[in-house]
Amino acid sequence: MENSSLTLDDFLSRFQLLRPQVNGETLNHRQAAALIPVVRRARPGLLLTQRSARLRKHAGQVAFPGGAVDSSDASLIAAALREAQEEVAIPPESVEVIGVLPPVDSVTGFQVTPVVGIIPPNLHYHASEDEVASVFEMPLSEALRLGRYHPLDIYRRGDSHRVWLSWYEHYFVWGMTAGIIRELALQIGVRP
């Protein structure tokens, strides 16, 4: 697939709804969800955040809005939408959820389910000062270009673990965030 002219219609026609994998191989049992916000434009964008440097975990890292499922959340999708509203003021009713990607185990002990949603282009983001240092948009065609991600194999607890690394402008995109974007690219048919 050629990414340079990726339209929202192209993206939506290629995206196939996946149910979260339930295969018993998950390492983590605590549930979390993240919203993967695709901005509705002629040339769509991917909304990302840079976490506050004051946070205890993952300080300064590029991430999607998301976090742990609360007892008040009706579902993983509800958790992703709540977190997006808390972190960057995306109203839940403005998100058109189109599906989920397979859950990912985080190093912090959570099983994170990526929820893919389309958001309008005219939202006014308001970053939560406690959690988010900045909000930025990467062109979706650039985000889904597989050649921008470079593997790094690390060893933890005797196991090899592949981490993906990339730069966009002055943002270092890596780890779970880069892995989720790469999985989305593979899901819609981008070839390595």
Task: Please give the share of the chain, as a percent, with pLDDT higher than 70.
Answer: 85
pLDDT of residue 56: 62
pLDDT tens by residue, 36-58: 999 999 999 999 998 765 656 65
CA–CA distances in Å: residue 9 to residues 3, 38, 120: 13, 12, 14
Q: How confident is the model at residue 59 (pLDDT cuts 50, 70, 90)?
A: low
* DSSP-derived secondary structure for 12-67: HHH---BPPP--S--S--EEEEEEEEEE-SSS-EEEEEEE-TT-SSSTT-EE-SEE
Whether 104 shows a pLDDT value over 50: the answer reads: yes
Task: Please give the share of the chain, as a percent, with pLDDT higher than 90.
Answer: 47
CA–CA distances in Å: residue 17 to residues 44, 92, 99, 134: 19, 20, 5, 30
pLDDT of residue 55: 55
Cα–Cα distance, 114 to 48 (Å, whole number): 13
Whether 16 shows a pLDDT value over 70: the answer reads: no
pLDDT tens by residue, 127-173: 877 777 788 999 999 999 999 999 999 887 788 888 898 988 989 89
pLDDT tens by residue, 60-78: 688 899 988 999 999 999 9
pLDDT of residue 116: 95
